Structure 1
Amino acid sequence: MRKLPKWEKEPMDLTPTDRAQQILDHAGVAIENGGDDMFYERQTDTIIIPDKEQFASPEQYYAEALHQLAHRSYQQEGLNRDGDLRAGEMVGEELRTNLASLFISKELNLPYDLNDHVGYLNSWSVLMKEDPAELFKAASDAQKIVDQVLGFEQQVAEKEELGTENDLPESRQQGDSPEAQHEEPKFNPERLTKGEIIPHNGTEFKVLAELKNNVYNMQDLGDKRKFKMSSDSGLFASLIEARNNSQEISTGMDVEHEVAETEEINEAEEIDNTYQMQR
């Protein structure tokens, strides 16, 4: 009789709140804390949510934040098929996002509470009486939301795995030529790129995402503050200047280094040639 070896689940290194924060960070959505309201603002791609201290626990805060991220997935990823919601469609959206929140909270071991959504129970009941298949449709859409939200965590894991593979740069792993590996990364001198970190005015600013109408989601890495920045603002102009100047300085230093190396080689060749002639 064959026996399978005992299987032991790998220990979870990240806490539920760590995993939730990782998902929110990688989703690229801006988060605006303060006030008493909780909703997703589609026009600015922002989750509006009270400060973490206003919740009973950090876990409750992240459960609510991921619920708003579920609204974002529903509205931006094609599940809201007709674009902006018409009258009455909010009931269907809340049904789907609450189911998705339940699944996500179960996966991440976060609390789930209907809270103010209790008021939707009667409306959901009416909706399913009118169309008995509505629950199955909602569950199917909710699973798509879950896949999209948890997919952000999967992307983080894949990037970390690629980053440690053979301890080689990504370009080397993809088989680029040595010449291509030494090329300077290309950038648009008039725009910012997601992921850039720019030192300026005693701190560092990170570009979290580029939105519509030349608006950027930014983060001050000094105080961890997240905010939106228009390309018309003075800060944008200052960051562009700081980034471009640093690139020019870096490129100039590389050129000087190459010239110095060339001069050393030429000088060595002249000495060698002189030695051979003397012999």
Structure 2
Amino acid sequence: MSKTFKALPIQLSDKLIGEIKEGNSLFQKPVKENGMPAFVKPINPVTGKGYSAMNALILGMQRHDDPRWLSADAARYAGTWVKEGEKGTLIEFPKTSDIQAIRTADGQRIKNEEGVTQTKTVEFDKPKTGQAFLFNGSQLKDVQPLEEFLAKQNEGQTLSPIERANKLIEDSKAVIIHGGQEAYYDKQRDAVFMPEPEHFENETKYLQAAIHQLAHWSGHEDRLNRPMEGKFGSLDYAREEMRAAIAGILIGGELKIGHNFGQQAAYMSTFAKILKDEPFEIAKATRDAQKIANLLLGVSQKREQKQAPEVGFKKGDEIAYMDTTYKVLETYKTKSIKVEDADGARKVLKPDYGLYKSLLEAKTNPREPDMVLAEEQGQSEEQGQQQKIGR
């Protein structure tokens, strides 16, 4: 890797600073010129899973209308191809294991009688940082039309985005007091204060503002216990605003209601200063925003859309693995498969064979572990009191 390569959080911070200065960041422009939301929730179309917060922000900042993202290998296994000249978008993920070739003492690969390299799964003591370049659905050819994909995604969804947002607010059980001209969270009273709904341009704007304040509400010591002692206008106050703003982007993308930070003018210069002076703060902010989104969306609840079907083998599958390609010649009721490698060697693999499991892993998730939305929720240090947050 080049010595001049910047860590991904630094790259993200630099890009955000540039967009803030130009006035076109996700915080400042929640809607694109074509009328579509500026942020579309990224999704792996093969598994139906989303990506973790920092990766979702990186992918969403590409401003594609298509939510689908795959690596070049995953796209090829799905029967699609990256268009010539397209550039991928770099993401990072925690890698807990790796499939490696078994080698002799002098480093030579050990192969079986058929000439197939023998492998082993190595579990890491601590997660390592893995990287992958992803491509958007609009960068792929022979891909399912976007309208068909979205229609299938929405099958079984009985609630509209507005109804889902209202349900999220109701399910939070937060105390919401209407009246006045300001929208804010009062930590001392543990209550959200909102102007009357008719004060807003439309119901969507009201719901977006309410969700933003619920993001602050999540930081109470009885919930996620975030430090929120900063005074209005301070850097600590702005850090909390950044977390709530990113959470609003994630939640708005999940509900398909969009987001509207609202107070962007008051915080943009401070956001840019934090990102410049502390570029790795974006990694911390996105982790906290992920926890906020998890809490408000309810990570214990099943996704309302249908889940992707279980992945298995089918006759004709061609799977690149290690230094060869395996073609599935037959599948059996026992789930065993007959495969042929690139050298013409054939064998029957049972589900408990290591090579069977490795091929299934390579087909299901080729060099691209999925980023699930759920993260463990942690406790932070004891907080001070702050009456109004999110003004």
Output the TM-score relative to the length of structure 2. Answer: 0.36
- Counting strand residues as a fraction of each chain, which structure ranks higher? 2
- Counting helix residues as a fraction of each chain, which structure ranks higher? 1
Output the TM-score relative to the length of structure 1. Answer: 0.50
